[in-house]
Chains A and B, each alone.
Chain A
Amino acid sequence: MSNIVEIRNLTKTFGEVVANNKVRLDLRQGEILALLGENGSGKTTLMNMLSGIYQPDSGEISINGTKVSIHSPEEAKKLGIGMVHQHFKLIDTLTAADNIWMGAEKKEPFLLKTKFAYADSLYPYEGLDDSSSLRRQKLKRFKVKTKLCFSALNYKIVQFFRTAFLNRSRFEKINKVAHDFGFDLDSRKLVCDMAVSEKQTCEIIKVLFYGAKILILDEPTAVLTTQEIQKLFSTMRKMKERGCSIIIITHKLNEVLEISDRVTIMRKGEYITTVDTKDANEQLLTELMVGEKIELHIDRPRTDFDRPLLEIRDLTVKNDEGSVAIDNMSFYIRGGEMLGVAGISGCGQKELCEAIAGLRKIESGEINHKGQSLIGLPPKKIIDMGVSMSFIPEDRLGMGLAPSMSITDNMMLKTYSEGKFNPFVNRKKARNKAKQLISELNIVTPSTETPVRRLSGGNVQKVLVGREIESSPNVIITAYPVRGLDINSSYAIYDILNEQKKNGVGILFVGEDLDVMLALCDKIMVICHGKLMGVVHAEKATKEQLGLMMTGALDLHVENDKQYGIAKDSNITEEAQND
């Protein structure tokens, strides 16, 4: 098989950060290549250079054996390279069709020159010796060419009116293309009304519509459910059969082993090696990726559960649009217990976390911490009461950190009010904490003073998790703490959470990877469209059972007679009895 893409000695730096150092990569015709590496190992940077978003500092890229320099996404598009970005590049206020249509080729040229040449060949001058027949021939040619000119003009005008205006037929055209590739897409739907998997489908159709032969998928599975991932994989196989070459970036080793033909491994901005998937296993890939042997085992330390720390009763919360996001939910978390929250994304996880942390208004119900109601208290008060909750938002940069501020400054965001009568902030202490965090969690950063937005996604996440745990809370609410993190960092975070659990902290773990949750959590609570589907013991539950509950097909909540989610030794009932 021939190489369709060859990358040699590609280097890219951002300020002091060397994102790619003399990287090489080969993509063969019609294969699925997995690009594997820890956070900040430069996978996305490399792919961004291939798709024309970043310009390399040095090195070369060859497509089909010819050297190219890709200055813009437009040039990448012409070379048949299409990238589906980790953060979708779709415009929310437009329909799916318009999102695709806006980058469609402008128009077909009329090719006047070739038609002129054809006319010339129809009426040749050769062999016409006498002047009168030559003149006649010239006249014929002239007539044909004038006609051609007029029809070119006509064509231009018709083309203008056909293509200048947005035609209703664009919806059907896009639908047809989608159907041809075996997708289901409602091209009239606004992107903001779409679920994540629909958006992804839209992105893939977009690059296929532009005629991409080389597909780059940057962490496509991070936001999908198990079923959706299987669907995506079958689509990828179909693409492969049609002769597309695919590069997929993912952190999940089982997916790498399942879908790819070969695996290229990068570490700290450098190319390590490429292996055939059939010769690889999880252990080998992890070692290549991390550079050392690590234990691939999630611990679930046993602790003696305390009395319920946090109790939620009949909680109802509305989302931003005003519809019910959390519907009459009751559950509790004991000290030293990790309660997983499983559910398809957008089923009220965000609203639940925000309600507990005091960031969202509650319609009805109770939130009690050690018997004390938290409702109506401002977030700062909730933290000050010793009810520290560590909240890691889904959107880590948007809500958790100030992107333009340094790690030190971000560390201070939670502690700046220490020492009431001191108008100055203690930068030294914060810097030491930042240094400690960098060494403990292996954060890749040039210094403690680098703006957080310059760090790669995984490192940003580590800063956030580290800071939240720094304030030694007794209830931790964490949503997707390992989203987009590589194995090493993920395990580091599991260890941190387990450490906290052993100290008697109650943890609410909103997660997406069911395998991890089954191994890590003590109990798993499943929600579906804001309704509680039941709480299961992680040891007894199976992945299939959880999957059914997530889609609402299995509801343990109705099957049981006893009132769900209320602890026998609840602090609330005791108080009620005392009254």
Chain B
Amino acid sequence: MNSSIMTIIIVLCEAVRRGTPLLLGTTGEILNEKSGSLNLGVEGTMAVGAITGALLGLATSNLFLALLGAFVGGMFCGLIYAFLTITLKANQNVTGLAITIFGSGLCLFIGETLKDTKKFPSYTSEFYSEITGGGIPVLKDIPYIGQLLFSYNALVYIAILIALVVWIYITKTKSGLRMRASGENPASADSVGINVDAERYKNIVVGSGIMGLGGVYMALFINNGLWNTDWINGYGWIAVALVIFANWSSARAIGGSYVFGFLLALKSRMPSLASAFPSVLSWSTAIPTELFDALPFIVTMLVLIFSSIKKRKNSGAPTGLGLNYFREER
């Protein structure tokens, strides 16, 4: 019995671990979309955050600087996106896809170039223990609960904190109101003297920085900092769908991310679950593992289908989403 509880806890922990990059990506994307920009460059922004964060971690062996580097890398991508779509009025979808291709390509280029040099990716042992260990001292030693709630690295808690702060910012503050207005109806916002372009720039850049944190999480905590040509592995796209799943609320995104994290965790953890509960889950051994790979994407598709069938009246989707604003347009 004990061992089966442990198995469940391990699976749930894995769900939280895999859900965290999704949460960061989703929170960043919510900031983008609520201010009116459908940024499809999440995947690329995360990739840039991953590579800048990993490189800085390698150079300084300091986790905080690695996170900062990832944040700045993400902001850099956001700045490109904002400049193209706001200042130059480029199409948002095309620009987003371009950012995805650019970011993934940049990450791959740097990673592959450095792969053969002995230095990459060989972190100092302190840094390595820092990224593989973690958890809140004392509390994490509580049986069961300690492992379930307090055993994670700092970024897991930071991600939750960011999501909650973003939620308060959007729903409870005055500058959040201005940002929502810019996303809902930029012409209205403009007519009362809100600087729509500035609002959008601000939120795209900060949101993209948060996505960058999600990227470095993928690199350092999911892949343990080991080079892999597929560091982001489609998580960015799941984040785009999660925004709809969470109905544009970053508080709801916390739960949604862990649900998707659970789906992602099933691939590696299903065999141990099956052996822990042979009577219930023995059938799962017959399912090819590739299907578990596809599972989050299948669910993503289902979410998109259901959310477009069931049009909620109180949908959080901003009306001006995906539309560039040009004051003199008639």
Known: A73-B193, A74-B195, A210-B192. A165 touches B187 (CB 8 A): no
Measured in the bound complex, the distance between the Cα atoms of B247 and A93 in whole Å is 14
Measured in the bound complex, the distance between the Cα atoms of B296 and A472 in whole Å is 56
User: Restricting to A155-203, which residues have a CB under 8 Å from any CB of B?
Assistant: 163-166
Chain A hits for B173, CB < 8 A: 164-166
A90 at the interface (CB under 8 A from B): yes
Measured in the bound complex, the distance between the Cα atoms of B192 and A78 in whole Å is 11
A53 at the interface (CB under 8 A from B): yes
Which of B172, B181, B190, B319 is close to A73, meaning CB atoms less than 8 Å apart?
A: B190
Chain A hits for B185, CB < 8 A: 89-92
Which of A74, A89, A164, A453 is close to B187, meaning CB atoms less than 8 Å apart?
A: A89
A92 near B177 (CB under 8 angstroms)? no
A55 at the interface (CB under 8 A from B): yes
B33 at the interface (CB under 8 A from A): no
B191 at the interface (CB under 8 A from A): yes
Query: Taking chain B's interface residues, is the majority helix, strand, or loop, or is none over half, making it mixed?
Result: helix
A85 near B181 (CB under 8 angstroms)? no
A53 near B193 (CB under 8 angstroms)? no
Which of B178, B187, B328, B330 is close to A102, meaning CB atoms less than 8 Å apart?
A: B178
A53 near B191 (CB under 8 angstroms)? yes
Measured in the bound complex, the distance between the Cα atoms of B185 and A102 in whole Å is 12
A14 at the interface (CB under 8 A from B): yes
B184 at the interface (CB under 8 A from A): yes
B180 near A454 (CB under 8 angstroms)? no
Known: A55-B328, A91-B184. A164 touches B175 (CB 8 A): yes
Measured in the bound complex, the distance between the Cα atoms of B327 and A52 in whole Å is 10
Known: A91-B185, A164-B174. A103 touches B193 (CB 8 A): yes
Known: A74-B193, A77-B193, A166-B172. A102 touches B327 (CB 8 A): no
Measured in the bound complex, the distance between the Cα atoms of B326 and A53 in whole Å is 10
Measured in the bound complex, the distance between the Cα atoms of B190 and A51 in whole Å is 11
A83 at the interface (CB under 8 A from B): yes
Chain A hits for B330, CB < 8 A: 14, 453-454
B174 near A103 (CB under 8 angstroms)? no
Bitwise interface map of B from 300 to 330 toward A, beta carbon under 8 Å scored 1, else 0: 0000000000000000000100000001101
Most buried by B among A85, A103, A164, A206: A103
Measured in the bound complex, the distance between the Cα atoms of B187 and A72 in whole Å is 12
Chain A hits for B177, CB < 8 A: 94, 98, 101-102, 166
Q: Chain A nearest CB: distance from B174 CB in Å?
A: 6
Most buried by A among B174, B185, B328: B174
Chain B hits for A89, CB < 8 A: 185, 187-188, 191-192
Q: Chain A nearest CB: distance from B309 CB in Å?
A: 16
Chain B hits for A91, CB < 8 A: 181, 184-185, 188-189, 319
A54 at the interface (CB under 8 A from B): yes
B194 at the interface (CB under 8 A from A): yes
A165 near B194 (CB under 8 angstroms)? no
Which of A85, A165, A453 is close to B174, meaning CB atoms less than 8 Å apart?
A: A165
B180 near A94 (CB under 8 angstroms)? yes
Q: Chain A nearest CB: distance from B58 CB in Å?
A: 39
Which of B174, B187, B193, B319 is close to A93, meaning CB atoms less than 8 Å apart?
A: B319
User: Restricting to B180-232, which residues have a CB under 8 Å from any CB of A?
Assistant: 180-181, 184-185, 187-195
Chain B hits for A164, CB < 8 A: 173-175
B319 near A92 (CB under 8 angstroms)? yes
Chain A hits for B176, CB < 8 A: 166
User: Restricting to A48-94, which residues have a CB under 8 Å from any CB of B?
Assistant: 51, 53-55, 72-74, 77-78, 83, 85, 89-94
Chain A hits for B175, CB < 8 A: 164
Measured in the bound complex, the distance between the Cα atoms of B181 and A102 in whole Å is 8
Q: Chain A nearest CB: distance from B182 CB in Å?
A: 9
Chain B hits for A78, CB < 8 A: 193
Nearest chain-B residue to A207 (Cβ)?
A: B192
Nearest chain-B residue to A453 (Cβ)?
A: B330
Chain B hits for A165, CB < 8 A: 172-174
Measured in the bound complex, the distance between the Cα atoms of B233 and A2 in whole Å is 70
Most buried by B among A74, A91, A92, A94: A91
A72 near B193 (CB under 8 angstroms)? yes
Measured in the bound complex, the distance between the Cα atoms of B174 and A93 in whole Å is 16
Q: Chain A nearest CB: distance from B161 CB in Å?
A: 18
Measured in the bound complex, the distance between the Cα atoms of B1 and A417 in whole Å is 73
Bitwise interface map of A from 95 to 135 toward B, beta carbon under 8 Å scored 1, else 0: 00011011100000000000000000000000000000000
Known: A102-B177, A454-B330. A83 touches B172 (CB 8 A): no
Measured in the bound complex, the distance between the Cα atoms of B185 and A163 in whole Å is 23
Measured in the bound complex, the distance between the Cα atoms of B192 and A77 in whole Å is 7
Taking Cβ atoms with an 8 Å cutoff, the residues of A that contact B are 14, 51, 53-55, 72-74, 77-78, 83, 85, 89-94, 98-99, 101-103, 163-166, 206, 210, 453-454
Sampled A-B contacts (6; CB under 8 Å): A91-B184, A91-B319, A98-B177, A102-B177, A102-B178, A102-B194
Taking A74-B193, A78-B193, A164-B173 as given, write out 15 further A-B residue pairs in contact, using a Cβ cutoff of 8 Å, ordered by the A residue number.
A51-B191, A72-B193, A77-B192, A77-B193, A85-B191, A91-B181, A92-B184, A92-B185, A99-B188, A101-B177, A102-B177, A102-B194, A103-B189, A210-B193, A454-B330
